[in-house]
Structure 1
Amino acid sequence: MALRYPEDMMISIGDNAPQFTLSTNGGGQFSFAEAAGKYLVLYFYPKDDTPGCTKEAIGFSEERAAFKAQNALVVGVSRDTVQKHDKFISKHDLHIPLISDEEGRLCEAFGTWVEKNMYGKTYMGIERATFLISPEGKLLEIWRKVKVSGHVEEVLSRLQSLNS
């Protein structure tokens, strides 16, 4: 079983975001250092090509220009393979990078690898969560247990309020 951070050890607003470099779709890599000087919207989602995850990815992808106008990069994270990400992106014409966190280290660092319960069965999985990180690398906002509907707009609105 994966470790679950005690509540007092979980990443919090004001903390420095964990540094990382991981593989992305298209055979690329994304390093936290690439976001230096920009806001980073790092969103964690359970699985490629499932209804909620697809809607969320399409929403962030469709608003990519609006996020860019706010000096923000949007990057998705799941434990799916790079190959699954490539298929997901191609199928839905997505325009945002997707990180493959196969080993789950980034999920652990952000406290999104959690025990879930469905139909009376418990299992470990990714909690849908979004982290807004400042251009200086500090956590500004955390959304946990995200409901997909309206979430992209909420994140964008928060960014706009920071930039006004």
Structure 2
Amino acid sequence: MIDVNDTIDLNFPVRFVENGEKREGSFSELITRPTVVSVYMRNNTSSCDKQAKQLQVVAKELDTAGFGIIALSKDTPGSHLKYASKHELSFPLVSDPEHAFAKATQSLVEKKMYGKTFLGPTRSAYLIEPGGKVLGVVEKVDSAAHAEQLRELVGS
């Protein structure tokens, strides 16, 4: 996993949902100020729903303090559009089915489910500034207490 003060390459293409619209662009375009990138596994699952709701709890507070929020999973933009509407999420949801962000942060790990082995991203969060410098890392997100983890991450 990438460390604090390392710089990651944010110039990879993504599709995302922002303000109720599906869009495409470079991931770097989404990082216009210090931004928390919270990685979760899948929309409409218990732990991921808790994590997303915790992001929304702290979204306005972080915005006021000068920080952005991005949630990222492998779900499609269509799924993200429904998910954002269902949970009234105010931040971008990025679709990353190829795990480009996990590769950039060196957080792609082997997982096992139902007897099958596959590679997937860790449930983690990163504080990244424009240009890709990593300012902080939450290596293991606690879905139910993610808002508090993010407050500690940004120092508020």
For normalisation by structure 2, the TM-score amounts to 0.84
Question: Does 1:46 find its partner at 2:41?
Answer: yes
The within-5 A match list for 1:153-164 is 153-161=148-156
Partner Cα separation in structure 2 for residue 69 and residue 136 of structure 1: 22
Structure 1 outlier segments of 4+, above 6 Å: none
Q: Deviations over 1:38-94 (max 9, x none)?
A: 211011111111111111111111221101011000001111110111111122221
Any idea what SS the aligned residue of 2:143 has? coil
The within-5 A match list for 1:13-28 is 13-20=4-11, 21-25=13-17, 26-28=21-23
Do the aligned partners of 1:67 and 1:73 also contact (CA within 8 Å) in 2? yes
Structure 1, unaligned runs of 5 or more:
1-9
Q: Which amino acid aligns with 1:51?
A: S
Q: Which amino acid aligns with 1:24?
A: F
Q: Offset at 1:125?
A: 2.2
Partner Cα separation in structure 1 for residue 84 and residue 15 of structure 2: 15
Any idea what SS the aligned residue of 1:149 has? helix
Q: Which amino acid aligns with 2:3?
A: S
Q: Deviations over 1:129-152 (max 9, x none)?
A: 100123564111111232212222
Structure 2, unaligned runs of 5 or more:
none
Any idea what SS the aligned residue of 1:64 has? helix
CA RMSD, 1 decimal: 2.1
Q: Deviations over 1:73-121 (max 9, x none)?
A: 0001111110111111122221111001122222211223211134665
Per the alignment, residue 133 of structure 2 pairs with 138
Any idea what SS the aligned residue of 2:10 has? coil
Q: Which amino acid aligns with 1:18?
A: D
Partner Cα separation in structure 2 for residue 33 and residue 86 of structure 1: 19
Per the alignment, residue 104 of structure 1 pairs with 99
For the pair shown, the structure with the greater C-alpha radius of gyration is 1
